[in-house]
Amino acid sequence: MSPYLVTRTLPVNSTDADLRTDVLQGLGRGPKSLPPKWFYDARGSELFEEITRLPEYYPTRAEREILRARARDVAAATQARTLVELGSGSSEKTRILLDALPGLHSYIPVDVSESALALAAEGLLAERPDLSVHALIADFTRGLALPGTPGPRLVAFLGGTLGNLLPEERAVFLKSVRSMLQPGDALLLGTDLVKDESTLVAAYDDTAGVTAAFNKNVLTVLNRELDADFDPDDFDHVAHWDPRQEWIEMRLRARSALTVKVRELDLAVTFAAGEELRTEVSAKFREAGVRSELAAAAMELGHWWTDSAGRFALSLSAPG
**Within a domain: residue 30?**
no
**Within a domain: residue 159?**
yes
**Within a domain: residue 91?**
yes
pLDDT at 275 over 50: yes
Predicted structure pTM score = 0.91
**Within a domain: residue 44?**
no
Q: Report the range of poorest mean pLDDT among 64-78, 102-116, 183-197, 268-282.
A: 102-116
Can you give the pLDDT at residue 134?
Answer: 83
pLDDT at 141 over 90: no
**Taking CA 72 as the corner, what is the angle to CA 67 and CA 75, rounded to the nearest 5 degrees?**
105
For helices 167-180 and 287-296, what crossing angle results, to 10°?
Answer: 60
How far is residue 304's CA from residue 299's CA, in Å, rounded to a whole number? 14
Residues 89/118, Cβ–Cβ less than 8 Å: no
**Within a domain: residue 107?**
yes
For helices 14-27 and 210-226, what crossing angle results, to 10°?
Answer: 110
**Within a domain: residue 121?**
yes
Cα–chain-centroid distance for residue 128? 26
- Count of domains in the chain? 1
The length of the chain is 320
**Within a domain: residue 8?**
no
Q: Domain containing 111 — which CATH number?
A: 3.40.50.150
pLDDT in tens, 107-131: 888 887 776 677 777 777 777 778 8
